[in-house]
A and B are shown apart, each in its own frame.
Chain A
């Protein structure tokens, strides 16, 4: 479960995230949309402890991310927008490394490393050094490293960057499986079709504020007001905000 309460982040005089409040129950797949520079990544970085909020509160699975960072972090897995890995380690070593950071037991870790390698179909190249990986391969390894400790919550920033169609399918399937297993998923994306296909609920952020928050079903009602596709809804919403 994720709760964001009046979350705000400023950089000098620039307000990157302004008074964002959200509540994502366990098992929900939440899509976080918005144009470039709207505040998606900043929100995610605050949720994962990479940024400290200027004000407001983030509670993940009952733990305050600022006050109880270690407890909160042990319950979620994070997939960043740029899948940077340690170049000198192999993919398998990186997954082991992440499992170790999450204090997994030896046998449990070994078993789960094999599980995520199968899940994301990494076996044929996972023992090569990550410096030789393509963007898509790196992205899949970060997914595997986020899934290895079986998190209750998964936070993903732009999951499809650099993925070929096959990799994209593998990633989507793996996310669906995690959601079916009861994990709550918070995913920021630019790919509207993906949000439409996977998410139970969608939020749109623009100019640091949430401007739309509703379920997939209600989104369909919105779509009918336009030409029947999500892209038009998105463009209209962000355009209106721009014109104001």
Chain B
């Protein structure tokens, strides 16, 4: 045990030595981080407070539905943390050079596992704790909740909830790695992706948010009542449900239920952690040995010799562009932590799009319709931002120690920068248009409306205002995408770290967190601006009035002009950073 604390102590020391440097540059950077983190925390507080007030007072969805929506968001949050931890754990437990060193030292495998697991968890969760606490503050202030709410929610709910997700992730990873000695690793990885897709699909199928809204709204205006009988049994065993129940019962002052659900969550987390330790104790070292052979397994079949993509072949691109493109392609395809994470994200995206493109919500209130539309709109953008952060931000850093080859060659660093930027931008712009189009299908094309038997279903065309809103979103989304990619690639260059080889750790570094927060601030502003045309169009559709085009034009300018400004600033900073001493 003393070895365990000895290592933790030095890791801690290392962290503080780095973060407490007193040179001018570090002080300015830390001050900048403090301002951004602080502003974001304040922003998250106000945003959460505003959304709570808006949904309960303006849209009047009631306490029960409000907390069920929180539960659904928490499910997505849980899966995100879970998958994130799984991929990061793969890199830190099986790919980190530190493991080679630790495994040669007289420290037990279990201790090494726990150190790396905790390192992993706290490294990637710090910002989430801060955001979570700010959101809780905004929520708690709205309901005038007592001081102990924040303590219980933070240490009794949020931390165990996230830790539970991390425990599940690492157990699944250990089992996958165990199976990898017998089954092809890529087949296993695909199986896991499929499993998570099914999980998300069935969650929303079983929880059926549309049905829930319709059922609860039958009791309007008594929608603050508890409608627990509408919750399917399968949903009740999930930790996100417990958290939403804790919040609901805190607001309704049912402290017995708060205690029951909190205990259930903490005990489940502790249980999962113990199971995780037992599994690790049994198989961690053997899976680490297995992981050494996975490298060759995953790479061999990704060769594309003597094809257009091999270095010996030439195309119509200039020789510099061509080799840079090919290098990016091969580095991506031959790095399992890149393409596995990419596949997982794409799979989640497909599930989301499949659900959204067939979404048919029968709501009366135009404001509520606008809220649903905005949620889907911002979720699309958020997905794009997540991909830009994960794959765009680390692009410059991934040059790694081999960056000397570009810097000493007759090529302007900006050429390399633009090529990297173009790869991410082209891909994400196309993707964003597809996402925007698919998620707007219910608003663009005639929808089948089922009538009472025996009258056959009829096709109902959306109102012109709604169609215009749909096309408007499809036009606006790529502009926002280009801005987000610029922020991520540009600041990825500013915060480049050529020492770190792991793209996931680069994408969860302090610089990446700052970038993420800045992107979120941009997204919140976009959301605030987009609120106006969205509600206007839904109100116009409900009143059958004409569209106010001047508002649409103004909103377009309000989004486009600052976006162009942000794009330019990001690139200037990014390219200037590439000229620093290497």
Seen from chain A, the residues whose Cβ lies within 8 Å of a Cβ on chain B are 12, 45, 48-52, 69-74, 78, 80, 82, 84-89, 92-94, 96-106, 109-110, 129, 145
* A84 B400 Cβ-Cβ under 8 A: yes
* A85 B402 Cβ-Cβ under 8 A: yes
* A101 B320 Cβ-Cβ under 8 A: yes
* Other-chain contact of B406, A70, A89, A96, A101 (Cβ < 8 Å): A101
B234 contacts A by Cβ under 8 Å: no
Q: Which residues of B have CB within 8 Å of A106?
A: 314, 319
* B320 A78 Cβ-Cβ under 8 A: no
* Other-chain contact of A98, B23, B334, B400, B409 (Cβ < 8 Å): B409
B482 to chain A, nearest CB (A): 27
Interface size for B (C-beta < 8 A) is 33
A97-B327, A97-B405 in contact; A129/B582 too (CB < 8 A)? no
Alpha-carbon separation in the docked complex, A106 to B331 (Å): 22
B2 contacts A by Cβ under 8 Å: no
Seen from chain B, the residues whose Cβ lies within 8 Å of a Cβ on chain A are 23, 299, 311-312, 314, 318-320, 322-324, 326-327, 330-331, 334-335, 400-402, 404-412, 501, 579, 581-582
A164 to chain B, nearest CB (A): 22
* Other-chain contact of A103, B318, B326, B400, B501 (Cβ < 8 Å): B318
Alpha-carbon separation in the docked complex, A20 to B402 (Å): 28
* A98 B330 Cβ-Cβ under 8 A: no
* B408 A100 Cβ-Cβ under 8 A: no
Alpha-carbon separation in the docked complex, A101 to B327 (Å): 11
Q: Which residues of B have CB within 8 Å of A70?
A: 410-412
* Other-chain contact of B404, A50, A88, A105, A129 (Cβ < 8 Å): A50
Alpha-carbon separation in the docked complex, A116 to B411 (Å): 22
* Other-chain contact of B322, A45, A51, A71, A100 (Cβ < 8 Å): A100
Q: Which residues of A have CB within 8 Å of B324?
A: 100-101
Interface centre among B323, B334, B400, B408 (most CB of A within 10 A): B408
Q: Which residues of B have CB within 8 Å of A97?
A: 311, 323, 326-327, 405
* Other-chain contact of B408, A49, A92, A99 (Cβ < 8 Å): A49
A73-B408, A129-B299, A129-B334 in contact; A84/B319 too (CB < 8 A)? no
B25 to chain A, nearest CB (A): 10
Alpha-carbon separation in the docked complex, A99 to B334 (Å): 22
A49-B407, A51-B582 in contact; A101/B323 too (CB < 8 A)? yes
Output the nearest chain B residue to A47 by Cβ-Cβ distance.
B408
A-B pairs with beta carbons under 8 Å apart, 7 shown: A48-B408, A49-B407, A49-B408, A52-B581, A97-B326, A97-B405, A102-B409
Alpha-carbon separation in the docked complex, A85 to B407 (Å): 13
Q: Which residues of A have CB within 8 Å of B335?
A: 88
* A145 B319 Cβ-Cβ under 8 A: no
Alpha-carbon separation in the docked complex, A70 to B581 (Å): 17
* Other-chain contact of A86, B23, B402, B409, B582 (Cβ < 8 Å): B402
Alpha-carbon separation in the docked complex, A85 to B408 (Å): 13
Alpha-carbon separation in the docked complex, A96 to B312 (Å): 7
Q: Which residues of A have CB within 8 Å of B402?
A: 84-86
* B331 A88 Cβ-Cβ under 8 A: yes
Output the nearest chain A residue to B405 by Cβ-Cβ distance.
A98
Alpha-carbon separation in the docked complex, A73 to B400 (Å): 21
Q: Which residues of B have CB within 8 Å of A48?
A: 404, 407-408
Alpha-carbon separation in the docked complex, A188 to B400 (Å): 24
A183 to chain B, nearest CB (A): 16
* Other-chain contact of A71, B312, B319, B410 (Cβ < 8 Å): B410
* Other-chain contact of B331, A86, A101, A102, A109 (Cβ < 8 Å): A86
Q: Which residues of A have CB within 8 Å of B322?
A: 100
A235 to chain B, nearest CB (A): 31
B420 to chain A, nearest CB (A): 14
* B323 A50 Cβ-Cβ under 8 A: no
Output the nearest chain B residue to A82 by Cβ-Cβ distance.
B401
A190 to chain B, nearest CB (A): 20
Output the nearest chain B residue to A42 by Cβ-Cβ distance.
B581
Interface centre among B299, B406, B410, B411 (most CB of A within 10 A): B410
Q: Which residues of B have CB within 8 Å of A86?
A: 327, 331, 400, 402, 405
A129 to chain B, nearest CB (A): 7
A20 to chain B, nearest CB (A): 17
A86-B331, A88-B331 in contact; A74/B410 too (CB < 8 A)? yes
Alpha-carbon separation in the docked complex, A79 to B163 (Å): 47
Alpha-carbon separation in the docked complex, A162 to B406 (Å): 23
Output the nearest chain A residue to B322 by Cβ-Cβ distance.
A100
* B404 A80 Cβ-Cβ under 8 A: yes
Alpha-carbon separation in the docked complex, A73 to B314 (Å): 23
* B330 A88 Cβ-Cβ under 8 A: yes
A89-B331, A96-B311, A101-B320 in contact; A84/B582 too (CB < 8 A)? no
Output the nearest chain B residue to A113 by Cβ-Cβ distance.
B312
* Other-chain contact of B409, A52, A73, A87, A110 (Cβ < 8 Å): A73
Alpha-carbon separation in the docked complex, A71 to B299 (Å): 38
Alpha-carbon separation in the docked complex, A44 to B327 (Å): 26
* Other-chain contact of A100, B299, B323, B330, B401 (Cβ < 8 Å): B323
Q: Which 5 A-B pairs have the closest CB atoms?
A: A100-B323, A84-B401, A96-B311, A74-B410, A101-B409
Alpha-carbon separation in the docked complex, A45 to B311 (Å): 28
Output the nearest chain B residue to A106 by Cβ-Cβ distance.
B314
